[in-house]
């Protein structure tokens, strides 16, 4: 995985969040992927469970948000990105996250770990 490929994967994640349903997640996550919503959170395991969590967590594909991203580090099949997301217009919440992602040879995530930070949140 190179920086351009990682940015494309993040763009695909955003597109999937903005698209009805969860079918697009199969192109982003391996069938046995793990997804942790915080560093010490119990991971969601498997594509079906990730799809279920995805539907529960988002308001829907029409949810108003902006997303900015940058690659922080890459090492063969793993990458770290800083992702900033604001929700609402006017803004009702905002997050600055670190994403740690490990990829299989096909470019699908096998491990996704999110480190979310927000104004006034724990440091």
pLDDT digits (tens, 9 = 90+) for 2-45: 999 999 999 999 999 889 989 999 999 999 999 999 999 999 99
User: Class for domain 3-117, per CATH?
Assistant: alpha beta
HSE at residue 88, side-chain half, CA atoms within 13 A, is 6
pLDDT of the residue at 49? 97
pLDDT of the residue at 122? 74
pLDDT of the residue at 58? 83
Query: Is the pLDDT reported for residue 46 higher than 90?
Result: yes
* Cβ pair 93, 117 in contact under 8 A: no
Please tell me the pTM assigned to this model. Answer: 0.92
Locate tokens 């308001």: which residue? 59
pLDDT of the residue at 29? 98
> Rounded CA gap, 33 and 28, in Å?
10
Enter the tokens of residue 11: 């763009």
Distances (CA, A) of 69 to 3, 6, 31, 47: 12, 10, 25, 24
Chain-centroid distance of CA 20 in Å reads: 16
């Amino acid at each position: 995985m190179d920086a351009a490929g990682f940015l494309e994967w993040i763009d695909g994640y955003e597109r999937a969040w903005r698209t009805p349903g969860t079918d697009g997640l199969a192109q982003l996550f391996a069938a046995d992927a793990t997804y942790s919503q915080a560093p010490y959170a119990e991971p969601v395991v498997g594509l079906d469970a990730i799809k279920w969590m995805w539907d529960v967590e988002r308001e829907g594909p029409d949810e108003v948000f902006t997303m900015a991203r940058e690659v922080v580090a890459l090492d063969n099949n793993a990458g770290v990105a800083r992702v900033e997301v604001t929700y609402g217009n006017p803004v009702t919440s905002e997050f600055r996250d670190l994403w740690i992602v490990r990829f299989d040879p096909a470019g699908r995530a096998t491990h996704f770990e999110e480190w979310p930070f927000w104004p006034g949140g724990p440091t």
